[in-house]
Structure 1
């Protein structure tokens, strides 16, 4: 194995482990707060659906939980964030989520928001880059930032090889990542509680 591959593998493992630990991230903060949601060890091992309370996720914040050993992002987008999602379609590699990564995109997520219409402000996505499996970092605020274009609309940056994704976890054109990040099956149990890994068609 080359030194580059060893570095990539180590970095990827650290990023995935860190992001899967759980927390809430805000637009204007780089810190992570420990999540109150912790799935049972049995649920983790079995890859069973997990229930998540999202009442503590304010507009502009993102909560990270674990499902099947992977970080799942729950981002509650502001009206300003939602407004960018239909404007940047021409710059995206797959704006309609026609290509699959590891999971088929649910029909209810085949829209610019990649979310259920009744809760289109909430994105639920598996936070794994489709290039080499790293976990991108959140760059939710718009505007000039290090390693990003001056017209950055807000989204995610993979630190391994520079793939960028919008606020619906869709990859921009001419990036190493070949597809958008996955949207897992999920459904609402109430306005403030969702279950990941299961929807009306059954478990993933």
Structure 2
């Protein structure tokens, strides 16, 4: 008698054998699926560990900026290394005011090392009309606000020519980021390394001197 014929003679045995085979196939499929899921769970964090985060990439990256839309007297803020950087297009009137403030400033000639050499001048800039400054007060790290000329804000005093006021402790800075005398901030605002790629395109974070 053949094996098939033998199983046919005993239906209960044949049914049990068929159910055993089906259960075995289900276990194989389940085991394979579980193993695949486990590998995927391990592989994703492993691969991710090689991919730097957005914050990590931004922390040291240079920032390219287009200032073609920056109107005279206007200011825009960009982020560089987690810091706000102000870019201001100063008018001829604004520039004319700068030398008149020297006697009221703590470091009018920018002698302290807070700017690249090419910005160590009265305007603290490469181009006279465009100023770059890190918008962080050098006292305790608050963010100053722009206060226009002629403001009635008592914190800036009379005959205010325009500039920046730190709301935390009252330090004031002129339109070149230079700190006024007798203020909590000990130094001028930082000028970051930068260079022009074209007339209206620049790079913050690098310059031709190797600073970064």
CA 1:108–1:173 in structure 2 vs 1: closer, same or farther (change >3 Å)?
A: same
- Kindly report which structure 2 residues correspond to 1:100-111, keeping only aligned pairs within 5 A, or say none: 100=113, 104-111=114-121
**Alignment correspondent of 1:72:** 85
**Alignment correspondent of 2:152:** 145
What do you get for the CA RMSD once the two structures are aligned? 1.6
* TM-score scaled by length of structure 2: 0.72
The number of residue pairs the alignment matches comes to 159
Contact 1:92 1:171 in 2 (8 A): yes
**Alignment correspondent of 1:14:** none
Contact 1:44 1:67 in 2 (8 A): no
Secondary structure at the counterpart of residue 124 of structure 1: strand
2:164 alignment partner, one of 148, 156, 167: 156
Secondary structure at the counterpart of residue 71 of structure 1: strand
1:44 to partner: Cα distance: 5.0
- Work out which structure has the larger RCO, using CA pairs closer than 8 Å and 6 or more positions apart in sequence: 1
1:85 alignment partner, one of 98, 101, 123: 98
1:60 alignment partner, one of 70, 73, 79: 73
**Alignment correspondent of 1:13:** none
Secondary structure at the counterpart of residue 81 of structure 1: helix
**Alignment correspondent of 2:123:** 113
Q: Deviations over 1:48-78 (max 9, x none)?
A: 1110000111000001000000000000001
**Alignment correspondent of 1:131:** 139
**Alignment correspondent of 1:95:** 108
**Rounded Cα–Cα distance in structure 2 between residues aligned with 1:43 and 1:196:** 17
* TM-score scaled by length of structure 1: 0.74
1:144 to partner: Cα distance: 3.6
Gaps of 5+ in 2: 1-52
1:46 to partner: Cα distance: 3.6
**Alignment correspondent of 1:190:** 198
**Rounded Cα–Cα distance in structure 1 between residues aligned with 2:169 and 2:158:** 19
Larger Rg: 2
| More helix as a share of residues | 2
**Rounded Cα–Cα distance in structure 2 between residues aligned with 1:44 and 1:71:** 16
Gaps of 5+ in 1: 1-39
CA 1:122–1:44 in structure 2 vs 1: closer, same or farther (change >3 Å)?
A: farther
| More strand as a share of residues | 1
Contact 1:43 1:49 in 2 (8 A): no
